[in-house]
Chains A and B, each alone.
Chain A
Amino acid sequence: MKSKDVPQDDANMMQGKFREPVYSVDEKGNYTTVKSVGWDAKNEVMQDAWDNVNDRIEKARQNVIKGKSSPIAYYIEKNIMDVGIVASYMRIWKWRVRRHLKPSVFKNLSDEMIDKYCEVFGVKREVFLNADLRNTEEKQNINDNN
C-alpha cells in the first residue's frame, strides 16, 4: 500500500484517543508509517462484533424480564463476559455461577455473594437487585459500552 492511499475513514472507533500508525510505502519505495483514523473494512467488522454483543445483551435482558434467568445473566453479557470469566473473578466454580443464573437460586443468595457479584460487575447493589430491566435503555452505543 502506498502512503498516500492509507485510508482515513473515521467511524469514531478510537474516540479520538489515538490514531493508528499504518505501515506503507512512500514514493521512493521505502517503508514508513502514516497515522490513520480508521478504515471502512475494519470499521464494518468491528461494528458487526459489537452488534453481536448488543444482540446477546438484549436476549439476556428479555430472559430476565420473562423470569427465565437471574440478573446475573444480563450483567454477564453487558460486561462482555462469559460464565468462565465471571467464575474466575468470583473465585467460585463455574457450575455455581450457572446455578445462580436460575431465579429460584438467585433469590436465596447470601448478601456476601450478592456484594461480590456487584463488585465484579461494577454495579451498585440496589441497581443490581431492584433494577427493573424493562426500563433500561438497552441499545448500547458502541462508544458507550461501559
Chain B
Amino acid sequence: MTTTNEKNNIHFEHKQSAHCENGVVSNMLNFYGIKLSEPMVFGIGSGLFFSHMPFLKVGGIPVTSFRPLPGMIFKRLSKRLGIKFEKHRYSNPHKSMEALDKNLQNGIPTGMLVGVYHLTYFPDPYRFHFNAHNIIVFEKKDNTYLISDPIMEGYESLSYNELLKVRYARGLFAPKGHMYWPKFVPKEIDLKSAIKKGIAHTCKDMLTIPIPMFGVKGIRYLAKKVRSYPKKLSSRRAASYTGQIVRAQEEIGTGGAGFRYMYSAFIQEAAEIMQNEKLRELSFELTSIGDLWREFAIITGRIVKNRNTVDESYDKAADLLLVIADKEEIFFKELNKLNKSL
C-alpha cells in the first residue's frame, strides 16, 4: 500500500508486520531504499530470546518474555548495518510536536514511541498500558497526522491532541515524546556479516547466559514453575499465571510460537543469501519446535478454560516445556556451529 504526499513528495509505503519494532524499522529503511523483510530485521537485530522473571510482575502476574527489551532489535540492527539514527526526547509536549511538524515539512518520515492505551484506532481488547509501541508519522494534513502503524493493515490517522496524548503516556517505559529518524544510511550494506553477527548473538543469548532465568535454561526454569503452580496457587490464579506465558508467546500475530516461526523465516532467507542448503534444513528444525510451542499454547488454553476446576494438565505442559528446552538447546548449538563455518 502506498500514498503520495504531493506537496512534500513523501511517498511512503506501508507494510503490515507481526511485530511493531521490526515493522517500523523495515518500513522506514524501505523508504530509504533498503529492502529488508520483517524476519530479516528480526534476525539481524537478534530479536529471539527467552526469559522468565518471577519477581518482575505486571498486573500481579510474573513476566515471561520471548524477546529482548523493547528497543534492542532497533539498536542492534542499526549497529550491524551501520545506519545512524537521530534520536530526541522532549520535556515539553508542544515542542515535540513542533519538531515533528518541522520534520514532516522536510519530508522526513519520523518514528516514535507511543502508549497503546489511548491509541484510538486499536481494538479495545489490545489496549493495555503498554508504552513501547512503535509507529511512523509520515505526513500532516490540516490538523491530522497520517500514521503507518505496523500492526494495522492500512494507514491510520490521529489528531494533534490524540497524538500528543499517546506520545506522553505515563507509567513503565513512558515514551516522553521520544522520536527518531535515520541521519545516515550507507549506500552499500554488508548483509552477510550482519546476518552472521545477528545469529551469533542469538545463539549466545539462548545458550550461555549464566543465570537460570534466561535462554534455554530459562525454559527449564519455567517448566519447574508451571509444575508448581497448581500446588502453590488457587486454581484461578494458577491458570492466569500460565495464561500469561501464552499471551507473551502469541504477542501479536507471530503464529503462537513465541517468534520461533518468524526466526525460521529469517533462517530461510539467510540460507538463500548465504547460499547454504544446510541452513535451510535447520529452519525446518526450528519450525517443528515452533509447532511444539503451539501445542503448549493449546494445553494452556484448555487449562485457562477450565480455570475453576483442578486441572491435571500442568504436568503435561511442564513436560512439554522440557522437551522444547532440550530441542532448542540442540538447535542453537548446531546453528552456532554452522554460523561459525559460514
Contacts and interface: CB of A to CB of B under 8 A. Distances in A.
B255 A24 contact: yes
Interface residues of B, number: 54
Interface string A51-70: 01000000000000000000
Interface stretch (A40-48, A92-100, A102-110, A124-132): A40-48
A22 B171 contact: no
A20 B125 CA distance: 14
A25 B302 CA distance: 26
A18 B16 contact: yes
A31 B301 contact: no
A15 interface: yes
B184 interface: no
B124 A15 contact: yes
B210 interface: no
Describe A's contact surface by its main secondary structure. mixed
A44 B18 CA distance: 20
Given A31-B261, A80-B129, A81-B129, A45 B243 contact: yes
Given A22-B255, A45-B304, A88 B153 contact: no
A22 B284 CA distance: 17
Contacts of B117: 80
Contact of A146 (B124, B247, B304, B307): B124
A97 to B, nearest CB: 13
A31 B127 contact: no
Interface of A: 1, 6, 13-15, 17-25, 29-31, 33, 35-36, 39-42, 44-46, 48-50, 52, 80-81, 84-85, 88-89, 142-146
